[in-house]
Structure 1
């Protein structure tokens, strides 16, 4: 390998590792505009950066394609997760696939301004199952909203080989919210918040 090739390879490696650090911790890309960022990178190695994001997208896309090849053998669990963008106030429903080989993001549907009843959800759930391939879907997990519960039952009526399940994490979250309403728990939590605020405000 030539010296130029070695430098290029090192540059790409540096860029990708820095990129992975950004992605893993959800650090805004604007952080790279800090006046302290360039000296930090230069101190690591005095080279520029390559097309970091494009290379990561290519790698993830390749991994997902390999991931999909395992679906006919082991099947997947589809998971739905609602999300509200507090800045734009837009609502989204994200769909993910889980299997023993890992979890992958599949798609996101904007659902702002729509009537979110059982019929709406069952149409959406049925659509994503169709896109993925019903022969691959073993289980479908949703949150515990009444409309989602009804939609899950209707989905199982239509697709006999699919099992719909409530999200355990959401169940626990709802239980903790109810526990937090007890007077003694509520008062204890408020006292803990006061202590926490005092500690953070008096370093």
Structure 2
């Protein structure tokens, strides 16, 4: 069971013991708890990045289509022995999906990551339309 699923029963149990206890609102929880989670994820990503000069990375991409908005996206990830890190998502709607498209798109990501860290590229062969 997730924390989200456990939260209502926990609050109910507290309220049975002390009926005046009111659970925090989603807004109250989202501030400090969300901030802590964001900091934790940033630290984890930084740990991954620190290992890249030693281990190198596999730069991976996967295209997908949002069926509701009809927008096409390509997600980029860095894989290393430390784990997989999400890098970015690019909106590629309306772009011609040819070899130049792939080169330009990868060139942007390589510049952000640093070419000296990349050992190989892996991309899906299904293109988002």
TM range (shorter): 0.7 to 0.9
Question: Does 2:69 correspond to 1:84?
Answer: no
Cα deviation digits, residues 48-100 of structure 1 (max 9, x gap): 36332222111101110111010100010000011111111111100000011
Instruction: State the partner residue of 1:123.
Output: 104
TM-score if structure 2 supplies the norm length?
Answer: 0.77
2: CA distance between counterparts of 1:79 and 1:143? 8
Question: Does 2:12 correspond to 1:43?
Answer: yes
Task: Identify which of 41, 48, 54 aligns with 1:60.
Answer: 41
Distance 1:39 1:130, change over 3 A: closer
Larger radius of gyration: 1
Higher relative contact order (CA 8 A, sep 6+): 2
Distance 1:140 1:38, change over 3 A: closer
Unaligned runs of 5+ in 1: 1-16, 22-36, 147-203
Contact kept in structure 1, 2:58 and 2:119, CA below 8 Å: yes
1 or 2, which has the higher helix percentage?
1
The within-5 A match list for 1:170-181 is none
**SS of equivalent to 1:92:** strand
Distance 1:45 1:103, change over 3 A: farther
TM-score if structure 1 supplies the norm length?
Answer: 0.50
The within-5 A match list for 1:67-146 is 67-145=48-126
1 or 2, which has the higher strand percentage?
2
2: CA distance between counterparts of 1:81 and 1:127? 15
Cα deviation digits, residues 153-196 of structure 1 (max 9, x gap): xxxxxxxxxxxxxxxxxxxxxxxxxxxxxxxxxxxxxxxxxxxx
The CA deviation at 1:119 is 0.5
Moved over 4 A (4+): 44-47
Distance 1:145 1:118, change over 3 A: farther
Provide the aligned C-alpha RMSD in A: 2.4
